[in-house]
Structure 1
Amino acid sequence: MDLATIIGLILGFGAVFGGAVLEGLHITSLIQPTAALIVLGGTFGAVFVSFPLPVCIKAFKDIKIAVLPPKVDPDAIVKDIIGYATKARRNGLISLEQEAQNASDPFIKKGISLVVDGIDPQKLRETLEAEITAYEDHQKHSAEFFEAAGGYSPTIGIIGAVLGLIHVMSNLSDTSKLGAGIAVAFVATIYGLMVANIVCIPIGTKIKIRMKEEVLRRVMIVEGLIAIQNGENPHFIEQKLKSFAGAEH
């Protein structure tokens, strides 16, 4: 579990609601289901118009990346690649065929299979880098989804506030309720700003960070496999890959 995400959400919402309490407001005055409906419904309605349905579905699935990031151990990857390099140096590249079948990581499995097939190192790099680019292009849509939601949310909040003020203005005859009505109207603005700046934009940023970590991991694998194919010394390969592993920590 990513504690930074949990701590950030607690601090963000805690600061808003805690500050409201310190100002003398009742928490119940900030809990308005109608305002929440307008902001959430309007915001995600706008992003659903902006993006294809598969992107929207994937974006919601990728929320788990912000809270439950995939476990990546760069040192373990370096160890595995060094193991492949040692075996290939001793028994030849064809000896890695069994390793390709046993690999649980699809990217490593594909890379080793290409190495075993004897593909040209330059072609190997181009093939695997093309896959990395495709992954990056596909993954960034989720980040763009939440960034777009963060852009729409404050505006939808203003719409909610205007709707609330329209309701207040239509009941000017009862002046005793004007203050409370105006306060409720502006809760939608607060919701819009909170959804944008505490939830959507930060989640989009976290997805981007996870994407960069995965891209770096794959680049490390590519460099390791090409070094194996070139017959480089396992010790030299280890030193080269440790620079990538250090960048991920």
Structure 2
Amino acid sequence: MDLISIIGTLLAFLVIIVGTILKGSTVDALWNPAACVIVFAGTAAALMVQNQGKVLKHALKMMSMIFKPPMHRPEDLISRVVGWSEISRRQGLLGLEPQIEAEPDPFIRKGLQMLVDGSEPEAIRSVLEVDMDTREATDLAASKVYESAGIFSPTLGIIGAVMGLMAVMQNLTDPSKLGHGIAAAFVATIYGVALANLFMLPMAARLKGLIGKQSRMREILIEGLVSIAQGDNPRQIEARLQGYVS
């Protein structure tokens, strides 16, 4: 689990609650069922109109990456590639077959299988780069769901505030209801702006960063497998791949 992400999420809730109290209001004032429906259900509806079901489903699956991000250790991957290179030099490419069966990552497994099958270096590069680009595009489309939610929710918050003020205007003859009505009207704005700036937009940015790191790991793998297919020396392969590590 990523402790920083968890702390940040809890802090976001705490900021709103403590800020409300310090401003002289109460926590109860933050609860408004109508505002919840307008902002949260409205944002969900807008996302459904904008995106296909498979994109939304993938976006929900990717949410877990924020709190439990995949481990990106380029040095470990480079060490594994060098190990594969040494095996291929001692035993030939067929010596890598046991590595395929033990490999949980389908992308790595596919690359190793092509290597064992004796595919040409450029064929390995071409196939894996297409696979990498497709996966990256799919993941980026899912991350944009959160970015879009960060765009829609503040607008829906304003809509909720306007609708609340319309209700207030209908009760101008009863001054006792004005203060409470106006306060409730602006709760929708708080929901919309907080949802966008404390959750959705940061989540989208975090996912894009993780997707970029995943693509970099795949680039290292592709370059390593192509180098093995070309019969390069393990030390040369290691030196070349170290250029990807910043």
Report the TM range for the smaller structure's normalisation. Answer: over 0.9
Instruction: Give the Cα–Cα distance (whole angstroms) in 1 for the partners of residues 175 and 120 of structure 2.
Output: 81
Summarize deviations over 1:41-100 as a string: whole Å, max 9, x none.
001110111001111122112111111112343333222211110011112222222322
Higher mean C-alpha deviation, range 4-13 or range 20-29: 4-13
What displacement does 1:30 show? 1.3
Counterpart in the other structure of 1:82: 82
Higher mean C-alpha deviation, range 182-191 or range 14-23: 14-23
What displacement does 1:175 show? 0.7
Counterpart in the other structure of 1:196: 196
Summarize deviations over 1:152-185 as a string: whole Å, max 9, x none.
1011001111111111111112111201110110
Counterpart in the other structure of 2:153: 153
Counterpart in the other structure of 1:14: 14
TM-score of the aligned structures, taking structure 1 as reference length:
0.93
Counterpart in the other structure of 1:171: 171
Counterpart in the other structure of 1:31: 31
* 2:57 partner SS: helix
Instruction: Give the Cα–Cα distance (whole angstroms) in 1 for the partners of residues 100 and 160 of structure 2.
Output: 56
Equivalent AA in structure 1 for residue 155 of structure 2: T
* 2:171 partner SS: coil
What displacement does 1:17 show? 2.3
* 2:82 partner SS: helix
Instruction: Give the Cα–Cα distance (whole angstroms) in 1 for the partners of residues 36 and 50 of structure 2.
Output: 21
TM-score of the aligned structures, taking structure 2 as reference length:
0.95
Summarize deviations over 1:90-116 as a string: whole Å, max 9, x none.
122222223223322211111111112
Instruction: Give the Cα–Cα distance (whole angstroms) in 1 for the partners of residues 56 and 117 of structure 2.
Output: 38
Q: Which residues in structure 2 correspond to 1:1-249 (within 5 Å)?
A: 1-244=1-244, 246-247=245-246
What displacement does 1:143 show? 0.9
What displacement does 1:36 show? 1.4
Identify unmatched segments of 5+ residues in structure 2.
none
CA RMSD of aligned residues (A): 1.4
Equivalent AA in structure 1 for residue 58 of structure 2: K
What displacement does 1:229 show? 1.1
Instruction: Give the Cα–Cα distance (whole angstroms) in 1 for the partners of residues 195 and 149 of structure 2.
Output: 9
Count of aligned pairs between the two proteins: 246
Equivalent AA in structure 1 for residue 19 of structure 2: G
Instruction: Give the Cα–Cα distance (whole angstroms) in 2 for the partners of residues 20 and 162 of structure 1.
Output: 21
What displacement does 1:225 show? 0.7
* 1:62 partner SS: helix
Instruction: Give the Cα–Cα distance (whole angstroms) in 1 for the partners of residues 77 and 49 of structure 2.
Output: 41
Percent identity reads 39
